[in-house]
Chain A
Amino acid sequence: EAAVTQSPRNKVAVTGGKVTLSCNQTNNHNNMYWYRQDTGHGLRLIHYSYGAGSTEKGDIPDGYKASRPSQENFSLILELATPSQTSVYFCASGDPLGGEQYFGPGTRLTVL
Chain B
Amino acid sequence: GDSVTQTEGQVTVSESKSLIINCTYSTTSIAYPNLFWYVRYPGEGLQLLLKVITAGQKGSSRGFEATYNKETTSFHLQKASVQESDSAVYYCALGAHNNNNAPRFGAGTKLTVKP
Residues of A within 8 A of B (CB): 4, 31, 33, 35, 37, 40-43, 45, 48, 50, 56, 58, 90, 92, 94, 96-106
Contact = CB atoms under 8 A, between A and B. Distances in A.
B77 to A, nearest CB: 15
A106 B45 contact: yes
A102 to B, nearest CB: 8
Contacts of B99: 31, 50, 96
A94 B47 contact: no
A98 B44 contact: no
Interface in B42-92: 44-48, 51, 53, 91
Which size bracket describes the interface of B in this complex? 20 to 34
B96 A96 contact: yes
22 contacts: A4-B45, A31-B96, A31-B99, A33-B102, A42-B106, A43-B105, A45-B102, A45-B103, A48-B102, A58-B102, A96-B96, A96-B98, A98-B34, A98-B95, A99-B33, A99-B95, A99-B96, A100-B36, A101-B103, A102-B48, A103-B38, A105-B44
Nearest to B44: A105
B52 to A, nearest CB: 11
A99 B91 contact: no
A28 B102 CA distance: 18
Contact of A103 (B34, B45, B95, B98): B45
B114 interface: no
Contacts of B44: 105
B4 to A, nearest CB: 9
Contacts of B48: 100-102
